[in-house]
Amino acid sequence: MFNMIIETRHCFAARGTLRYALDMTIELQQDFDCPAADLWAVVGAPGRADWVPGVSECKFDGTVRRLTMEGAGEIAEQILGVDPETMSIQYSCIESQPPLESHLAEIQVLATGTTSCRMIWKTSVEPVIVEPFIVRQMRASLLNLSEMLA
């Protein structure tokens, strides 16, 4: 089942009459017609990136995942935690072009039945100008997962 919920939140600051966005959080949720363990086997493996579009290479050294991506060049993500019990993985992009001021993402897989589950993917990023690229990549990744697990 393809049911994507997108929520974008911006944190604003004001200086005089000028308002500008400080950071942004994107949350996508998607339901899958597969056991949660099947989805977790893909997204919970830091050395696996075949579900992310445009990734031509993925190397994981136990702490940092390095991806070569079309349109983004090489990026490095520090894996902050992988919890098989809660089926959640948290990571932060530590190297990219252009450099990000801050980035934190979390993926969690929740069983909604014996053969169904939901993936919740949250990303907070600054600067907000990268929002269109981040949202595009997240949506395309969810589509890839849907096709892989169908």
Indicate if the alpha-carbon torsion angle 89, 64, 133, 68 is positive or negative.
negative
Does the domain at 5-148 match CATH 2.40.50.1020? Answer given as no
Query: Which pLDDT score is estimated for 1?
Result: 44
The pLDDT of residue 4? 47
What does the pLDDT read at residue 44?
Answer: 98
Closest CA to 53 of 28, 74, 71, 33: 71
Tell the burial category of 126 from Cβ atoms under 10 Å away from its Cβ (0-12, 13-18, 19+): middle
Q: For residues 132 and 117, what is the distance between their CA atoms, to the nearest angstrom?
A: 27
C-alpha pair distances (Å), 134 with each of 28, 35, 92, 106, 129? 11, 27, 13, 14, 10
Per-residue model confidence (pLDDT) at position 9 = 56
What pLDDT sits at residue 2? Answer: 43
pTM: 0.86
**Residue-wise pLDDT tens for the chain (150 aa)?**
444 455 555 555 445 555 444 567 888 999 999 999 999 999 999 999 999 999 999 999 999 999 999 877 899 999 999 999 999 999 999 999 888 989 999 999 999 999 999 999 999 988 888 888 888 999 999 999 999 999
The full set of domain ranges for the chain reads 5-148
Tokens of 75: 């990026």
